[in-house]
Amino acid sequence: MRRFAGRRAVVTGASRGIGAAIAKRLAAEGAAVALVARTVDHHETLPGSLNETAARLSTLGATVGLIAADLTDPDARADVMARAKDALAGPIDILVNNAAAAMYAPMATYPAKRRRITFEVNVHAPYELVQQALPDMVAAGEGWIVNVSSATARHEKGPPFRESFTGSTTGMYGASKAALNRLTNALGRELHGTGVRVNTVEPRAAVMSEGAEALVGGKVTDDMIESMEAMVEATVALCCCDADRTGKVHVSLDLNDELGLTVMKLDASGPA
């Protein structure tokens, strides 16, 4: 499949995990991809880097751009899309806002610095990148924006509240993702008719990326996990969806079932 031949895509948080996997699949299907993360080299604690992701994409014959930008810093993220446009020699067709700050802690004592970082990365940064991308997308009469969300955005039912190993500690992260979902919905409504599609997608179960392994590794059982390939399949489907699928919050496995998708390997060479 070469669904994205001739398309230019930006993927944030692309040094590892879901972002790196989405970037690989887009490249495998023909897209030129600009990869965004805080640095091009290794994170101090987690494996993976933009350089490593770029090397994997290059083996697929893809055009790749590297954008180092600290998404917690408004000044550093102010020109991300312009830099991507320069790196890929043309306007951006697809924006996948995958980068996220996930810091779990009890709500009653949640530190103010962590709260600000959470909302800078998970809400303000994706919203501002959307604003940067929109002029070219609207002028072209088409564009695809996918914001990666989380099931933690949903309200907990109770009391009594269900037992879980995370308890209320995902509350701040979930609140930021709930804000992202609402912004997605409003943008989808506002832009409907322009050809620009704006959607979110969230995993139904845990996707064991490097970051997730660090946060919850050893605490989830096999029935609580979905494959990276399944999450990516749903995400890339939203990178080429029709114009009336917009402003929606999708769950990965449910969307795959709805569309009757076969989950493919990240290099698109066959079923996973």
Instruction: Please check whether residue 174 lies inside any domain of the structure.
Output: yes
Torsion of CA 151, 175, 172, 239, to 10 degrees: 50
Task: Indicate whether 221 pLDDT > 60.
Answer: no
Task: Indicate whether 212 pLDDT > 50.
Answer: no
pLDDT tens-place string over residues 56-103: 999 999 999 999 999 999 999 999 999 999 999 999 999 999 999 999
Tokens, residue 157 = 């039912």
pLDDT tens-place string over residues 101-143: 999 999 999 999 999 999 999 999 999 999 999 999 999 999 9
Instruction: Please check whether residue 270 lies inside any domain of the structure.
Output: no
* Cβ neighbours for 261, distance < 8 A, ≥ 6 positions apart: 233, 234, 237, 255
Task: Indicate whether 225 pLDDT > 90.
Answer: no
Instruction: Please check whether residue 83 lies inside any domain of the structure.
Output: yes
Q: Which domain holds residue 78?
A: 8-259
Instruction: Please check whether residue 115 lies inside any domain of the structure.
Output: yes
Domain tally, the chain: 1
- For position 113, which CATH number holds? 3.40.50.720
**What pTM was estimated for this model as a whole?**
0.94
Instruction: Please check whether residue 271 lies inside any domain of the structure.
Output: no
Categorise residue 110: left if φ over 0, alpha if ψ from -120 to 50, beta otherwise: beta
Instruction: Please check whether residue 206 lies inside any domain of the structure.
Output: yes
pLDDT tens-place string over residues 3-53: 999 999 999 999 999 999 999 999 999 999 999 999 998 766 777 899 999
pLDDT category of residue 214 using cuts at 50, 70 and 90: low
Task: Indicate whether 149 pLDDT > 80.
Answer: yes
53 phi/psi in degrees, rounded to 5? -60, -45
Task: Indicate whether 211 pLDDT > 70.
Answer: no
| Stronger pLDDT, 208 or 44, i.e. the higher one | 44
| Contacts made by residues 38-41, CB under 8 angstroms, sequence distance 24+ | 38/68, 38/69, 38/70, 38/71, 39/15, 39/68, 40/66, 40/68
Task: Indicate whether 216 pLDDT > 60.
Answer: no
- The CA-based diameter of the chain, rounded to the nearest angstrom, is 55
Tokens, residue 248 = 């929606």
| Stronger pLDDT, 45 or 160, i.e. the higher one | 160
| Stronger pLDDT, 210 or 117, i.e. the higher one | 117
Q: Mark whether 110 is an active-site residue.
A: no
The SS3 of residue 162 is: coil
| Stronger pLDDT, 249 or 210, i.e. the higher one | 249
pLDDT category of residue 224 using cuts at 50, 70 and 90: low
Candidates 104, 110, 127, 173; catalytic one = 173
Instruction: Please check whether residue 244 lies inside any domain of the structure.
Output: yes
pLDDT tens-place string over residues 231-272: 999 999 999 999 999 999 999 999 999 999 999 999 999 999
What does the pLDDT read at residue 44? 63
Instruction: Please check whether residue 265 lies inside any domain of the structure.
Output: no
